[in-house]
Amino acid sequence: MDKISLCLLILVLSIFSVKGALGSSTSRLHPRTMTFLESQCKRTRYPELCVRSLSNLVNTTSQNPQILSQVALKVSLVKAVSTKYYIMKVCKEFNQINKVKNNQAAKDCLDQISDGVSHLTNSVKELQHLSLDGERAFIWHQSNVQTWLSTVLTDAYTCMEGMNNSGYAAMGGNVKAMIKAKVLNVAQLTSNALALFNGFAARHKASHHGKHKP
């Protein structure tokens, strides 16, 4: 699973590096695209983070809510994988100095973030299938994505709550703060991705129903 996650991180990062290069060459998004991005991000809980994390990655002329949702999910996935490997590094360091109690706290968080990586990976794949499986399967795919992303949020906040446990005070303030900050960022990005996906799904449903009105 770790090798798979690492390969996935490299693949997604390679895609984003190309996107970033293209974005930097255009200096800024097309005004209409920026307006679209800002309007979509207003439906999220962290709109400023939404715009900041996506503005250099979306196509300069794209105004497709599904594509925006896909990009948001991949941004969250990249951050989750990065966070997972940071916590793995912390666990390894605790093993070397034999801090078993502190290591257990980090291991619990690692398990939760690893689950999050799996759910985000599944969500990215599921969103890709939306355009392939037809309308009948849309609701099923939608439910899967919503369930998985909600679980990612639950796992992330469980991890952060665990870091607040007084029994792990000896872990070190800097380490705890770094883990919590990274996990919080995953949670915020995932929350935004879920909101953008919900917006896309609602728009798709309304459009689909409109086409089938007598």
Other beta carbons within 10 angstroms of residue 47's beta carbon come to: 16
What was the pLDDT predicted at 93? 81
Q: Quote the mean pLDDT of the chain.
A: 81
pLDDT in tens, 145-190: 999 999 999 999 999 988 877 555 556 678 888 999 999 999 999 9
What was the pLDDT predicted at 166? 53
Model's pTM, two decimal places? 0.83
Stretch 4-13: mean pLDDT, rounded? 53
Burial 180-212 (b: 16+ CB within 10 A, else e): bebbebbbbbbbbbbbbbbbbbeebeeeeeeee
Distance, CA of 193 to CA of 18 (rounded, Å): 21
Distance, CA of 152 to CA of 156 (rounded, Å): 6
Other beta carbons within 10 angstroms of residue 21's beta carbon come to: 10
DSSP 69-103: HHHHHHHHHHHHHHHHHHHHHHHHHHHHTT-HHHH
184: left (phi over 0), alpha (psi -120 to 50) or beta: alpha
State both tokens at 11: 């693949």
Q: Using an 8 Å Cβ cutoff, are 62 and 19 in contact?
A: no
Any idea which of 44-53, 107-116, 157-166 has the lowest mean pLDDT? 157-166
Distance, CA of 127 to CA of 125 (rounded, Å): 5
Q: Which residue has the tokens 């995953």?
A: 186
What was the pLDDT predicted at 151? 97
How many CA atoms lie within 13 Å of 18's alpha carbon, on the beta-carbon side? 6
Which whole-number Å values give the CA distances from 26 to 49, 60, 120, in the listed order?
21, 8, 30
